[in-house]
């Protein structure tokens, strides 16, 4: 009789034979250097966590217009490539694997974060509630500028260029950020996309940009080196959809054609009763998807082992636990106590709360 699958079971992800199923989730930490270039400090942080089966890097903007937060890394120029190469070389020296997350924030920005003080861009001119995080503190979001039809191919080319730069920087693959209320998610969900052209209206049209981006990125890497992250119920960044189960079932079915390495689903949002609409069944997405499924959403060792044993997911991504426990797979293996994350040091700062969490054997 086969033993149940656990977080410590090996797994094949695309071309990579991975030693466990403990994924480091993408985590914005706001510690990039001048010009949004990764530094030696960032390389040290990621190398500390190289025992993850797979590290998914913090989100990295594909263009100057794609930025929405201070000190987040880019992947659109030669300096970014050189900075990220420090990271990939450090991770590979520890025999780790790392994918870069490609990002465009869309409307979740502020003119002070945009080139020449321009308005942020979006599928439609709909202002999100809340405030942007800027170099001058929190400021109210503005009404974004709706992208013109002839500008959309430029966005696709920027994703392709970001994928090319990630390859130059030595990454093992890339993850497309299609979640959490950023640009691709804004196009997909009907709460933020009120367009009437080929990229709005019908579900097929709203999914068009995401699928074009996936096709472009796969043309650089091949599908088996590409993942995508989706957040069907995530209300963050003032997001909603009238029928999330229909929307995300459709897009997951369409994504199968690309033979991707994985689909990364964040379950965050299911704790909000109104987010799911009439119903939402994460198991349905699992049944539709034909490759590796990574899940994420406040899992601990017990709940992660349970969903893996049930077949509900193939791998589990951990965020806060990896912030505080650079040797998380070892701690899981020994069922050892875990360090407690310090939320005060999550965003911005220096080594404190970043590279100074103790290892189990320190």
Residue ranges covered by each domain of the chain: 11-315
Among 17-21, 28-32, 186-190, 269-273, where is mean pLDDT lowest?
269-273
- Given this model, what pLDDT does residue 234 score? 84
List Cα–Cα distances, 159 to 26, 111, 204, 320, in angstroms: 18, 22, 20, 28
Could you please report the per-residue DSSP string of 214-244? HHHHHHHH-GGGEEEEE-TT--TTT---S-H
Q: Is residue 53 predicted with pLDDT exceeding 90?
A: yes
313: how many CB neighbours lie within 10 A of its CB? 23
9: helix, strand or coil? coil
- Given this model, what pLDDT does residue 191 score? 95
> What is the CA angle 76-88-64, rounded to 5?
15
Could you name the CATH architecture of 11-315? Answer: Alpha-Beta Barrel (3.20)
Extract the runs of DSSP E, i.e. beta strands, from 224-355.
226-230, 262-266, 292-296, 315-318
Any idea which residue has 């979001």 for tokens? 141
Q: Is residue 273 predicted with pLDDT exceeding 80?
A: no
Catalytic residues: 182
Given a contact cutoff of 8 angstroms between Cβ atoms, the answer to whether 30 and 69 are in contact is yes
Joined tokens for residue 200: 């709005």
pLDDT digits (tens, 9 = 90+) for 172-184: 999 999 999 999 9
Given a contact cutoff of 8 angstroms between Cβ atoms, the answer to whether 68 and 186 are in contact is no
| Residue environment code for 35-53, b if the CB has 16+ CB neighbours within 10 A, otherwise e | ebbbbeebbebbbbbbbbb
Given a contact cutoff of 8 angstroms between Cβ atoms, the answer to whether 18 and 10 are in contact is yes
pLDDT digits (tens, 9 = 90+) for 321-344: 999 999 999 999 999 999 999 999
Joined tokens for residue 19: 């030693």
Given a contact cutoff of 8 angstroms between Cβ atoms, the answer to whether 355 and 45 are in contact is yes
> What is the CA angle 38-42-48, rounded to 5?
150
Distance of CA 185 to the CA centre of its chain: 12
Q: Is residue 276 predicted with pLDDT exceeding 60?
A: no
pLDDT digits (tens, 9 = 90+) for 247-270: 999 999 999 999 999 999 998 776
52-70 average pLDDT score = 98
- Given this model, what pLDDT does residue 245 score? 92
Q: Is residue 275 predicted with pLDDT exceeding 80?
A: no
Q: Is residue 278 predicted with pLDDT exceeding 80?
A: no
**Residue 356 DSSP label:** -
Give me the count of residues in the chain.
362
Q: Is residue 272 predicted with pLDDT exceeding 90?
A: no
Task: Please list the helix, strand and coil fractions of the chain in percent, rounded to the nearest 5, in that order.
Answer: 35, 15, 45
Q: Is residue 139 predicted with pLDDT exceeding 70?
A: yes
Given a contact cutoff of 8 angstroms between Cβ atoms, the answer to whether 260 and 223 are in contact is yes
Any idea which residue has 């993942």 for tokens? 227
| Residue environment code for 267-282, b if the CB has 16+ CB neighbours within 10 A, otherwise e | bbbeeeeebbeeebeb
310-314 average pLDDT score = 96
């Amino acid at each position: 009789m086969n033993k149940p699958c656990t977080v410590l079971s090996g797994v094949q992800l695309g071309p990579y034979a991975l030693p466990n199923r403990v994924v480091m989730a993408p985590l914005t930490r706001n510690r990039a250097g001048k010009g949004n270039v990764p530094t030696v400090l960032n390389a040290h942080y990621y190398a500390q966590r190289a025992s993850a089966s797979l590290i998914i890097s913090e989100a990295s903007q594909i263009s100057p217009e794609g930025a929405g937060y201070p000190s987040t890394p880019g992947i659109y120029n030669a300096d970014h490539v050189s900075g990220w190469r420090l990271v990939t070389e450090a991770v590979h020296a520890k025999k780790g694997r790392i994918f870069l997350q490609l990002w465009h924030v869309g409307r979740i920005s502020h003119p002070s974060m945009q080139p020449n003080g321009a308005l942020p861009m979006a599928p439609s001119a709909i202002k999100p509630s809340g405030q942007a995080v800027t170099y001058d503190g929190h400021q109210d979001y503005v009404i974004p500028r709706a992208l013109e039809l002839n500008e959309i191919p430029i966005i696709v080319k920027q994703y392709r260029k970001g994928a090319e730069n990630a390859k130059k920087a030595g990454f093992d693959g890339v993850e497309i950020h299609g979640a959490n209320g950023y640009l691709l998610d804004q196009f997909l969900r009907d709460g933020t996309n009120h367009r009437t052209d080929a990229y709005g209206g019908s579900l097929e049209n709203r999914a068009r940009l995401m699928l074009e981006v996936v096709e472009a990125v796969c043309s650089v890497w091949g599908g088996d080196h590409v993942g995508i992250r989706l957040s069907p119920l995530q209300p963050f960044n003032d997001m909603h959809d009238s029928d999330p189960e229909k929307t995300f079932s459709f897009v997951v079915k369409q994504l199968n054609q690309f033979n991707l390495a994985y689909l990364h689903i964040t379950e965050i949002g299911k704790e909000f009763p109104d987010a799911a609409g009439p119903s939402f069944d994460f198991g349905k997405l699992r049944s539709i998807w034909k490759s590796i499924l990574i899940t994420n959403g406040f899992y601990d060792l017990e709940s992660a082992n349970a969903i893996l044993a049930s077949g509900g997911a193939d791998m589990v991504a951990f965020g806060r636990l990896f912030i505080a426990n650079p040797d998380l797979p070892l701690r899981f293996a020994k069922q050892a106590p875990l360090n407690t994350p310090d939320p005060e040091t999550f965003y911005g700062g220096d080594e404190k709360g970043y590279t100074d969490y103790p290892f189990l054997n320190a």
